[in-house]
Chain A
Amino acid sequence: MNTLAQQQSPLGDTSPVVNISVFAGLILLTLLIAYRASSSGNTSDYFAAGGTFSGAQNGVALSGDFLSAASFLGIAGAIAVHGYDGFLYSIGFLVAWLVNLLLVAERLRNTGRFTMGDVLSFRMRRRPVRAAAAVSTLFITIAYMVAQMAGAGDLVALLLDIRSGTGQALVIAVVGVVMVFYVLIGGMKGTTWVQILKAVMLLLSVALITLFLLGKFGFNFSSLMQRAAENNPLGERLFAPGAQYGESALTKLDFVSLSMALVLGVAGLPHVLMRFYTVPNSREARRSVVWATWLMSLFYLCTLVIGFGAAALVGTETINNAPGGENSAAPLLAYEIGGTVLLGVISAVAFATILAVVAGLTLTASASFAHDFYANVIRGGKADPASEVRVARITAMVIGVAAILGGILVNGQNIAFLVGLAFAIAASANLSTLVFTLFWKRFNTSGTLWGMYGGLGSCLLLMLFSPVFSGSADSVFPSVDFSFFPLSNPGLVSIPMSFLCGVIGTLVRPRSADPEDFDAMKVRSLTGIGSRDVVY
């Protein structure tokens, strides 16, 4: 990713000791506070806590879950380097929440109790559907975590000024191990509080940096943009779409594909969906989406300023040559305006972001696997608790290792782009089945399995045979070429594919849906009648 020319460190001559101590101090403080907060509160159940979190708290936690490294480091970097095209991520990420608000959140809260599998298997044969839900959760989680691991590696590499590929791989591995270790020791206890704490810190920091930047340019965004264009080889092309995706008909199509994945993926992300169960009822679920939407609107508007600000003050060339590349834009900007201390603070916030997201993801996936797959499918619901916990722990480790390896392989890619792939998997595997099961009476078990495996399978296959994996200079395996699918994000094909598979699968076995079960789901999803733990 970097040119071989050994540049001077973008952080000047300051020794990394100061960065690292501010950084480490803040991380420790965050964890300590989160730990204390969580042990003074009700720590009994996390997911089934139904009732302990208010809509506002959950909204903040939701935005915390969602504003991962991709949103902060990835989008800011993409805007700093590619200009307007980076902004397009923000818009997809934000508009996507309307799918949750209008179609999914409240119905999910009313129907299920704990995992996405609850809702999907509600009126279907439970074992195969739970198995499918666990499998898709696993894949989405790993893809999402790969991006987070890469981000964490980039961040620490920047702080320590590590440039060699091996060194960065080592950093990713160490950071990944620390994170998985934290999950295993700390468990879910406190993750929501880390999430809330980190969301507040993140929002405050981006708001302050934004204010500072705007103030510096006399609250004239236009002149900030002007300066950004002067420091970016793209010049004024920075202001309009097309710098990154406008090269050819194919890249334009790729962009449309990515946009579809972004807008349809959120409603299929298991760790986001699970958040809707931490509130007492569907109205609080609605309220938490509203909170999250407002907070994220502010955040994404700030990242626009921060992205252009990074181009203006740091300069695109410096960003591209820094360890971590594009993903370093925001920390470098922090260094530029606030020196080592602010760099430490911003890096700590970004790291806490990643830590919290990784913790949430690992637990979602390992729980879903242990509970949906091991206990319900393999053991037919008769697993002894100790073995279920053991399976969950082993799963957490396996996921961690897979994510670390993936993170090393994709090192240097923009994190927002990588998360776009996770969104494509989520949209392909889960959205069609979720929508069908909630709204289509005839939808049945066969349709569910077809939809999930069809969407997941086509998405993963197309990804494997796309330029992401082979055939181009920045592929995972640049030296070989087995790509035949030209789009780097498969959403445009695999999402319709999953809907189509869902329809075909349903029609293959007509009359197997139970109308009574659909009535139950209809009533329950709308009113919450019959769900035991809905509290008004």
Chain B
Amino acid sequence: MSNTTPPPLRARHGERSEKTHASFGGIEKSAARGGKTGPDFAGIAGSAEFGELRSRLKRFVLPMTVLFLALYLGYVLLAAYAPDFMAEPVFGNINVGLLFGVGQFVSTLLITTLYVKFAERRVDPEVDKLRETAGGGQP
């Protein structure tokens, strides 16, 4: 996605020529350590833009995490300790428990969709901007 204007810091693939050793299952050498010689991490971390992005993300992710864990835990506790309530028929043999169970599917897909919308609209553009500013610092 977002391949409209490629940011200046395109990763250069296959550039690492030290890849000489054999491998098992095509596994490569060690991960690059987020080098201290790389971009000015402290500078970016301290910038207002980054702070704003981070707290924006936190304001979404944290409540959502609490919400889905609470929904799940609530469901699990109902299933464990209120089986009679869950067995209450709604129509035919379809009972409350089955509807709540399918409800977990619905809430999971709903949160997934909401997050994707949020990330595409409110996070990705900001990340692109930050990457552009940090452009020169690519190792």
Bind each other? yes
A283 with B25, Cβ < 8 A, contacts A97-B108, A101-B115 known:
no
Complex CA distance for A526 and B109, rounded to whole angstroms:
23
Residue of B92, B108, B138 contacting most chain A CB atoms (<10 Å): B108
Docked-complex contact B13 and A527, CB < 8 angstroms: no
Q: Which stretch from A62-70, A207-215, A383-391, A471-479 is at the chain B interface?
A: A383-391
A88: which B residues are within 8 A, CB to CB?
76, 79, 101
Tell me the minimal C-beta distance from B43 to chain A in angstroms: 9
Q: How many residues of B contact A (CB 8 A)?
A: 80
Cβ B38 vs Cβ A293 within 8 A: no
For chain A, the count of residues having a C-beta within 8 Å of the partner chain is 99
Q: Does A179 contact B (CB under 8 A)?
A: no
CB distance from A219 to the nearest CB of B (A): 12
Q: Is the CB of A536 within 8 A of B3?
A: yes
Secondary structure at chain B's binding surface: helix, strand, loop or mixed? helix
What's the A-B contact tally at a CB cutoff of 8 Å? 258
Q: Is A252 within 8 A of B80, CB to CB?
A: yes
User: Is A223's CB under 8 angstroms from B139's CB?
Assistant: no
Given the complex of chains A and B, what is the CA–CA distance between A88 and B76 in angstroms?
Answer: 8
B86 x A241 contact (CB < 8 A): yes
**Contact yes or no, A530 B38, CB < 8 A:** yes
B104 nearest CB neighbor, chain A only = A91
Nearest chain A CB to B73 CB, angstrom units? 8
CB of B22 within 8 A of chain A?
A: yes
Query: In whole angstroms, how far apart are the Cα atoms of A516 and B97 in the complex?
Result: 50
Residues of B within 8 A of A371 (CB): 27, 30
Among A366, A392, A530, contact of B137 (Cβ-Cβ < 8 Å): A530
The A-contacting residues of B in range 75-90, CB under 8 angstroms, are: 75-77, 79-81, 83-84, 86-87
Write the residues of chain A forming the contact surface with B, with a CB cutoff of 8 angstroms. Answer: 43-51, 84, 87-88, 91-92, 94-95, 97-99, 101-103, 111-115, 118, 122-123, 126, 187-189, 220-223, 225-226, 229, 236, 239-242, 245-246, 252-253, 255-256, 259, 263, 283-284, 286-287, 289-290, 293-294, 297, 300-301, 363, 366-367, 370-371, 375-376, 381, 384-386, 388-389, 392-393, 516-517, 519-524, 526-536
Sample 8 A-B pairs with CB under 8 A, ordered by A number: A187-B24, A222-B92, A222-B94, A240-B86, A363-B27, A381-B30, A389-B22, A523-B39
